[in-house]
Amino acid sequence: MSNPYQPSSVIPEPVETGLEYVGFGARVLASIIDTLLTMCVTVPIMLLYMGDAYWDDQRYINGGVGFLVEWLLPAAAVIAFWLARQATPGKMAIGAKVVDATTGLPLKPGQAILRYLGYFVSTIPLFLGLLWVAFDTRKQGWHDKIANTVVIRGKWPGKP
């Protein structure tokens, strides 16, 4: 008799479908791409707003405009990309997408917001929640576990 409290896995294992869970190194590369693209938007806006003082300012949040440009705009962009394309530009560059871990379907809005907020939980304890991706069998960070998501892609040619 099966356990009624155990979540059913509707999504087949990636090995059976020609997909793979995306590991730590590829996700770091995607993150670097996303960070550089985000900086290409936010830094010029903040330079227009603050001038050269932007480089000298040691505050974590540079006032209301800084909060909007450096925190809310990137969060909204990431969530919008997850909902519209199932991936940020960095994840698209490595051929990956973020899906619901149970169904394999695109994220729901609440799930995308929860995943984004989960990044803070993953980074606060010395980035342990992000490093978790390297050791987890499904390559899930804490933010993935919190939102019930996985990052998948087609297998690279010649890779077993």
Q: What is the pLDDT along the chain (160 residues), one digit of tens a residue?
A: 555 444 545 555 665 568 999 999 999 999 999 999 999 999 999 999 988 888 887 777 778 999 999 999 999 999 999 999 999 999 999 999 999 999 999 999 999 999 999 999 999 999 999 999 999 999 999 999 999 999 999 875 555 5
Q: What is the DSSP string of 132-155?
A: GGGT-TT---HHHHHHTEEEEEEP
Q: What is the pTM of this model?
A: 0.85
